Structures are given as C-alpha cells and as structure tokens.
Structure 1
Amino acid sequence: MENSFINDKKICELLESGKGASKSEIRKIIAKSLGKTRLEPEETAKLLQVEDEELLEEIFKAARTLKQEIYGNRIVFFAPLYIGNKCINNCLYCGFRRSNKAIVRKTLTHEELEEQVKILESKGHKRLILVYGEHPYYDADFIAETMKTVYDTKNGKGEIRRVNINAAPMEVEGYKKLKEAGIGTFQIFQETYHYETYKKLHPEGDMKSDYNYRLYGLDRAMKGGIDDVGIGALFGLYDWKYEVMGLLYHAIHLEETFGVGPHTISFPRIEPAIDTEFYDQTKYKVSDDDFRRIVAILRLSVPYTGMILTARENPEVRKQVIPLGVSQIDAGSRIGIGGYTKDDYIPDKEQFQLGDMRSLDEVIGQMCDLGFLTSFCTACYRSGRTGEEFMCKAKPGEIQNFCEANGIFTFKEYLIDYASEETRKRGEKIISKELDKIEPNRRKIIEEKLKIIEEGKRDVYL
C-alpha cells in the first residue's frame, strides 16, 4: 500500500476517535451535508459510529432530503449484460474464479450479443453496463468491438443509447480506445480497500493481486479521456465502516487529482455463487439495518454523486433503501452469459446469485407506487454534460433542470412503446404529478415535446 491514498492506520484512528462524537457534533455534520458540501473523512467516521436511534433517524431523513433536492423523484434504470466469464484470477469470493470447475466458460458471439441486445431493447432498456471477466481475451479492442455491436443493434423503436463498462483495469492507451468507441462510464470496484484483506483474497501472481494497480485504474481512465468513472466496494469482504471510508478517500483522491470525483458509487453486498464457500465463511456480512446506514451515510458524505443499487438485493430491501439516496437501479436483470434468452437463473454461467428477478415492468410499476419517476435518460452524455461539466451542475442541484424533463420524456417513450396497461396508467399519473411541480413556462416547453413523442418522435431531450 506504499504511495497509496488509502492509509490504513489513519482510517482506523478516525473510526476509533469518531466514537466519541456528541449529538451536537453529529447534527452539525448533517447540516453541512444538507448544504450539499462533501464531508471530510473525520466527519464521515463520526457518522459511521452513531448508534443513537434518534440520530440515526436524522441521518436517514437527511439522506432522503438530499436525494430529493439533488436528483428529485427520478430513478434511472439500466441493465447489466455479461459478455464473457473467462477469468485468469482466482479471487476466493467469486464464482468466475479460474479454479471453479462448476462454471461453464462462455463468451457471447457477435450474433449472440445482438440477440441479447434485441431482447433488452424489446423490454424498453436504453442503458446497459457490459461486464467482462478479467482475461487477456477481453482487451480494449474486444470491448470496443462489443460496444459497437451494442450501439449498432436496433429492434423496432428500441435502441441502446448509453453503454457503460465494468472490466479489468487497463493502460491509458486502452482507455483511449474505449473513449473513441463512445463509452459512458468505466467502472472498477476495488472490492476491498483493506490492504491485508485484499492480499488474502487475491492470490499472489494473479492479474488482480496488485492492489495499487487496481486502485489507480481509474486514474489511468481519466488520463485516457474518460471523465465519468464509477467506484465501488464489495461489502462482506471486510468491515463495512472501513469500506465506506475507503470509498470516500477514493472520491476525494479523484476530486483532488482530476478536479472531478466519481460519477457513481456502488455498494454491492456479497451473494452466494455456485461452488464458492467464501460466502458462508466470511464474518463480515452486512445486515439489512447496517446496509441502510451504508447507503444513507454515503449519500451524506458525497451528496452530489450518483449511487447505484443493484438487483443483488431482494425487492423488500430495495424498497427500503432506494429513498435513502439511490439514483440508479437495474431491473429485469439476468447475469448468466446469454441469460436474457433463457430469462432465468443459469447458476453455472453466473458470477453470483441475484435477489430480485422481477421484470422491468414490474419494478417500474412499484417505483410508480412509491412516487418515483422512471428515467432512461442519456442526454447528458450526448450533450457534453459529463465529468466536471456534470458535477458543476450536480453539486448545486441544477442538474434537475435538465434531468427532470429528460426523465419525463424517456418515461413517456417507455409507457407508449413497452409498458403493460396497468403500468401505463400508473406512469401517466406520475408524469402528471411531476408536471404540476414545474413552473408554467417550462411546463409548456415540456408538454410540447411530449406531444411530439405521442406523435411518434423518439429520443427527444433537452
């Protein structure tokens, strides 16, 4: 961990000293966050040590408030698409590890990839994250080619407008190729920020065993021109409070080095995987109550950063956690290689087990019932509002001026083209409620564009 921005001793000291914070200190920290200002590690450490039920509820309330003030009622939807599960690493917790003989190794052909994309488009998806095992076969050229296939594949009115990538860290030149191919966000999870734990879980000599190479993978992405990057930790590998501190330090490092922090933060919990004993062995599993704390404290710590909650979680957990600061979720997800054709679990081709297997339409229906506006918006990325430009608007909450309208437009498309009759009715009520909140002149502009969508125009955005 030499020359790293993660200081194990410092994190442990801050977490220890954070135990003594008074109620007035905690409330002052909450007030700072509500001012849309990123917290310092000392402040987040104090929030992490709160056990008082009254203060915890104040943290949750503040997280809900920040979500509304910065992102509004919108929830952005996407789907994962696993391209291949070849892997040369032997990470002890992962179903894809090379020693796992129960896994059937498979990489989608060009034709199979087209089929998967068409199925996703037929459901209404507009945003994908492509996921690859860590293997030399999945190099920058291969990834760029699969991105091209996804963008080129159309199905009636369906198209994918935004492709994000979750793949192994690469060199700057590789990232440049992905930038040229039209990448959205490049996502790398550190898995665990705790150095000694990282070493134990990632055997020496593997591609992934170099802690620092992975830690600085997104620095190289930024140098390669990709200004939207996503960070994450796999909760359940080490103490959850430490991992939250690691995520915050990573966000601060990117801000200080490149002038802009991560576009998204992910916080998946470890899940069972075929022939993978680690899930039953780890002593660091995160309870549902602590998971709520993780999400709320991350929202307070980095108020303006997108937060992703995946279908690893079951429907009830998702319902509880989304209001605490989540801005993006996946739905209708299948993570076996070729899984959208089968539309079911494929354990021998999956990295882990999903908790939410509901269809996209079912999840959207629930979001309507909870008062959320579904969005498939990709306008910022095609209008140059990325990286620093995006954050300059996100930090003060101004990004809503674009995202609210564009969310309405993309939801209207979904309701017309793909929704069930019941979801369509619920969705139209949500759009009507959102329009009622908008001042008259702006509402008139939005309603004019909605008429264009009703007449058959697609991909309308501000």
Structure 2
Amino acid sequence: MQSVLAQTPIGRTAPAWRRGGKASGIAIPPASRRLSTVANFSPGGKVQHTWSIERETQHTYVDPAKWIDEAAIFRALEVTKEWAKDSPRVREILEKAKEKAFVTEHDPVNVGSKSEFVQGLSLEECATLLNVDENNVQLRSVLTDDDLREEVAALQRQGHRRILALTGESPKYSFENFLHAVDVIGSVHTEPFGSIRRINVEIPPLSVSDMRRLKETDKVGTFVLFQETYHRDTFKKMHPGGPKSDFDYRVLTQDRAMRAGLDDVGIGALFGLFDYRYEVCAMLMHSEHLERHYNAGPHTISVPRMRPADGSELSISPPYPVDDAAFKKLVAVIRIAVPYTGMILSTRETPEMRSSLLKCGMSQMSAGSRTDVGAYHKDHTANTEANLGKLAGQFSLMDHRPTNEIVDWLMAEGYVPSWCTACYRQGRTGEDFMKICKAGDIHDFCHPNSLLTLQEYLQDYADPDLRRKGEEVIAREMGEDASEPISPQALKRLERKMKQVKEGKHDVYL
C-alpha cells in the first residue's frame, strides 16, 4: 500500500531553472553534454529586481543556456517522434512508471497540503495568469494578521499539518511582510492539537541572501518555483515586462536556494503554454543540473495543466493543450526519470483523473484547496462575505471533495494518507535525503511515519466510521499482510511510537 502525502497552500504562484544532458533516456549528442562554467555569468542585469535584493554579489553560475539545450531537445524530439505512436512502447513506459511508483514507497500520498494565498497583489506584466495589471476581474487582496490566523486555524481544523504559502510580487507587499506571515502561520495552534509543522513556500524569486533569511526562520520546508515554460521565446511572449521577464534569473532560483542551505526545492512547468514534450525534457535537464551541482535533485516536481481562470482568455484556449492520454504519459516519464522526487497533483484534475495519475506515479496531492485569498475562512467572516462576488480563484478547480472524503477515498484505493514532516524536522533534506533514497532505505522511515500521522489524524479529526477504516489499514500495514513489509528493526520502533500516539502523544516520528 502506497502512502500519499498531503499539503495545504496559502498564497500565490511562482517558477524554476536549466542544463543540457540526458533526458528520460533520450539520446542527446555528446557535444550537447559539455558543461562549461561561465565565470562571470550573473543573471538579473537586464531587469531590476527590487523585491529581493542580492547582498552576496560574489556568486556566479553556469549559464542556463548551457544546461537547457533547446536545439538538443528539438533534435531528440524529431528523432523519437514515431515512438509516441508505438502502443506497446507507451504501455511499457506506463508499466515501468507503475513499478517506480511502488518502488518509491517513500512518497506516501501526502494528502491535504493546502495553499494559503497570503496576498493577491502583483506588478507583473503577464499574459498567462491573473497577474496581468489589466485584469481587474479578480479583487486584489492582502490578508491581515487576524485573517491569516483564521485561515490557518480553518486548515488545522481539517487536520492539516503542512501548508504551502504563496504570494505575488508587489511593492505593496514586501519580502519582509512575507517573513512576518511565516511567523504568524507558525504561531497558530487550535484545539484539540492543531499545529502547522512544515511551511512550504511558493513565492517570487529570492536572492541568496534572502534565501538565508527564509531558512533562518526554521519553519520553511520546500522552496517551490515554477518556470512556467522552459521555452525562451514562449516565456518572453508570456512575460514581456516586469521582474518576471528575466528568464535566467528565474530559472536560477533553485541554485540560489541550494547555495543558501535551503536544499529542498521544487520545480514545475505549466502545461499548455508550449509543447509538453519539450517542457518535460527541459524539466529533466533542470533536475539533472541540480543533482550534478548540488548532489540533490528537486524534492518535488509539479505538473499542473492550464485551467480556465477569470479574465484570462489564454487559459480558456491554451496554445498547446495537453489531453488526458498525453498527460498520463508525461507523468509516467517523469516518474521513471526522477524516481526519488515527490510528484504533486493539484485539484485542477477531476477525481477520476487523479485516481489514474496516482497509478502513473503521482505521490502528493492537495485536498479541499481554494485558490482565492482568504477562502478557507471567508464563509464565516462577515466583512469578507461582502466581497464574495468579487473574489475569484486563480484557476478552476475540478476536485471539490473535502479532506475527510479524500482520506477515505485514498484508503479505499489502497493508499496510506500521510501528513509526515519527519525528514524536514530531522534534517533529512537535500543531499542527505537523496543518499537515503538512492540507497533504498527511505521506506523504513516514510511508511512507518505515514502510519503514525494517519493514526494521529484519525484520533483527532475523523468520524467513527473513518477512524474504523483507517485503523484497519494501519493494523494491516503493521502485520503479516502488509503491502510493503517494514524491516524488523523499523517495525519494532514503529510499534513503540504507535503506542505513544494511541496514548495521546502528538508529533511522534521516526
């Protein structure tokens, strides 16, 4: 039985990085694999970045054009274009992905990672999403401290332990404001035992010096930034002006995080802007670059498809729509190529599609998410209800099931819902996490921890019927009929820790 992790978003959208090399088994000419360090390559000179100013000016980087080789990708796609029509080959890819999904039991289905949108202001000149200044359909909002506390409390009452905090880039909302918001989120506690144990962030690109400040909060887990598209010409069309128009600065964000010691990073592309095959290859090159230079690839990879958004004609008719069959294939290819990563599945997909994608290798999903600022508590806030007609989400959601239904469904599908934050708390991040994963030892941490967090959730937030079902799953997974046997040593530790949880102790992990 696989575990599925959950996380909850609070904020607004962001991007990622690049290098030329092998991508998912596609042969790329040796000349394209040379990695030359450009000693004086320092992105950001073309565009002024004021939201996060670099104070560590000594850093230089490998030119992204050297590690995302557009010409090599197009050559490879041309050589292999007939393979996509080969049904047996495609089925083989899907089967391999399924095997990898079961091999990488370290990714329990992380359920309930919710996004909390801290503010909805943006100064970007952006043709893709709702960041465009001309788009006045969505009311721009900033959460007050009290609003934010109510949002976090609402999420905690659903049983969430992990939050994804998001924000846009605006002179009216500074990085200092966001650091303060992180402190506020971490300070909220609700009855019976509500607390946020890991805050992942999806915010505009930061300098190395500000990445260090973010890490020093000791509350942040993964820094997530989507490149949106790795195709330079398309990126330029989508972002003709503003800070976001600097492709190189954006794609080097994960490098800056790594150098600051914030070594759990997430990457992603928004599928629908350009050819999905190109985006997958480029994303894998990005992953390879991080692994080669920092001994740790991306902790997570996100693969959202474009969905209709208020005021965005492009989102209604994407230039490169990705159908369900192609989407399953790209998920399978990424799972095979990057077996250690957590693959994140959003509520943009229907329940039926989410079920199919879990079998292709997805390992993390959101539950009960909202994409509008203040949405988790606004139904109970009088002064926000007045704005309900104006408030709108960034994009359309397709799965509206609440967290408890998602948990019930996952267990019925044969997965273990998990709210684990143990690796982050124990310092098993970045290179240290990768070593454990690649040695095949992570299962003895992740599977026990998923069961411990499930038991805690059942005791605190489940109704009697859901608790009964969940405890049956836990008993089976700790017994002789376990889908993935735990080593005797890990099982002994799990039994001891499980006893503590059942006695009422919280935040127990291996």
Q: Do both proteins adopt the same fold according to a TM-score greater than 0.5, normalized to the shorter chain?
A: yes
Q: Measured at CA, do residues 195 and 365 of structure 1 come closer, stay the same or move farther in structure 2, by a change above 3 Å?
A: same
C-alpha deviation, 1:413, in angstroms: 0.4
How do 1:370-385 and structure 2 match up within 5 A?
370-385=413-428
How do 1:389-404 and structure 2 match up within 5 A?
389-404=432-447
Runs of 4+ in 1 over 4 A off after TM superposition: 343-347
Q: 1:195 aligns with which of 228, 232, 237?
A: 232
* Residue type of the alignment partner of 1:87: S
Distance in structure 1 (CA, Å) of the matches to 2:348 and 2:132: 19
Out of 181-190 and 415-424, give the one that drifted further: 415-424
The equivalent residue for 1:30 is none
1:223 to 2:259 alignment? yes
Q: Secondary structure at 1:81's aligned position in 2?
A: strand
How do 1:74-223 and structure 2 match up within 5 A?
74-77=108-111, 78-156=113-191, 157-182=193-218, 183-204=220-241, 206-223=242-259
Out of 211-220 and 53-62, give the one that drifted further: 53-62
Superposed CA deviations along residues 178-202 of structure 1, whole A, max 9, x for unmatched, are: 0001211101100000111111111
Distance in structure 1 (CA, Å) of the matches to 2:492 and 2:208: 46
The equivalent residue for 1:44 is none
Q: Measured at CA, do residues 163 and 123 of structure 1 come closer, stay the same or move farther in structure 2, by a change above 3 Å?
A: same
Distance in structure 1 (CA, Å) of the matches to 2:164 and 2:407: 19
Distance in structure 2 (CA, Å) of the matches to 1:138 and 1:66: 42
Superposed CA deviations along residues 260-298 of structure 1, whole A, max 9, x for unmatched, are: 111111000001111111123323111111110111000
Q: Secondary structure at 2:326's aligned position in 1?
A: helix
Q: Secondary structure at 1:374's aligned position in 2?
A: strand
The equivalent residue for 1:357 is 400
C-alpha deviation, 1:347, in angstroms: 6.9
* Residue type of the alignment partner of 1:315: P
The equivalent residue for 1:254 is 290
How do 1:259-338 and structure 2 match up within 5 A?
259-338=295-374
The equivalent residue for 2:23 is none
Q: Give the superposed CA RMSD.
A: 1.8
* Residue type of the alignment partner of 2:236: K
Q: 1:13 aligns with which of 71, 75, 78?
A: 75
Out of 338-347 and 92-101, give the one that drifted further: 338-347
Superposed CA deviations along residues 196-215 of structure 1, whole A, max 9, x for unmatched, are: 111111113x1111111111
Q: Secondary structure at 2:84's aligned position in 1?
A: coil
C-alpha deviation, 1:138, in angstroms: 3.9
The equivalent residue for 1:28 is none
The equivalent residue for 1:420 is 463
1:448 to 2:496 alignment? yes
The equivalent residue for 1:35 is none
Distance in structure 2 (CA, Å) of the matches to 1:366 and 1:72: 20
Superposed CA deviations along residues 339-359 of structure 1, whole A, max 9, x for unmatched, are: 001469977332111111110
Superposed CA deviations along residues 158-185 of structure 1, whole A, max 9, x for unmatched, are: 1000000000001111111100012111
Distance in structure 1 (CA, Å) of the matches to 2:122 and 2:163: 21
Distance in structure 1 (CA, Å) of the matches to 2:389 and 2:413: 31
> Does the Cα contact within 8 Å between 2:444 and 2:490 map onto a contact in 1?
no
Out of 50-59 and 181-190, give the one that drifted further: 50-59
Q: Secondary structure at 2:453's aligned position in 1?
A: helix
Q: Secondary structure at 2:226's aligned position in 1?
A: strand
Distance in structure 2 (CA, Å) of the matches to 1:18 and 1:179: 43
Unaligned residue ranges in structure 1 (runs of 5+): 21-48
Aligned length: 433
| TM-score (normalizing by structure 2) | 0.82
| Percent identity of paired positions between Structure 1 and Structure 2 | 40
Superposed CA deviations along residues 135-166 of structure 1, whole A, max 9, x for unmatched, are: 24443322221111111100020100000000
C-alpha deviation, 1:16, in angstroms: 1.0
Q: Secondary structure at 2:371's aligned position in 1?
A: coil
> Does the Cα contact within 8 Å between 1:335 and 1:350 map onto a contact in 2?
yes
Distance in structure 2 (CA, Å) of the matches to 1:191 and 1:400: 32
Out of 441-450 and 341-350, give the one that drifted further: 341-350
Distance in structure 2 (CA, Å) of the matches to 1:327 and 1:280: 28
Q: Secondary structure at 2:201's aligned position in 1?
A: strand
> Does the Cα contact within 8 Å between 2:64 and 2:252 map onto a contact in 1?
no
| TM-score (normalizing by structure 1) | 0.90
Q: Return the structure number with greater helix share.
A: 1
Q: Measured at CA, do residues 253 and 338 of structure 1 come closer, stay the same or move farther in structure 2, by a change above 3 Å?
A: same
Unaligned residue ranges in structure 2 (runs of 5+): 1-17, 19-62, 380-384
Superposed CA deviations along residues 329-371 of structure 1, whole A, max 9, x for unmatched, are: 1101111111001469977332111111110000111000001
C-alpha deviation, 1:259, in angstroms: 1.7
Relative contact order higher in (CA < 8 Å, ≥ 6 apart):
2
The equivalent residue for 1:57 is 91
The equivalent residue for 2:42 is none
> Does the Cα contact within 8 Å between 2:109 and 2:365 map onto a contact in 1?
yes
Distance in structure 1 (CA, Å) of the matches to 2:389 and 2:259: 38
> Does the Cα contact within 8 Å between 1:194 and 1:238 map onto a contact in 2?
yes
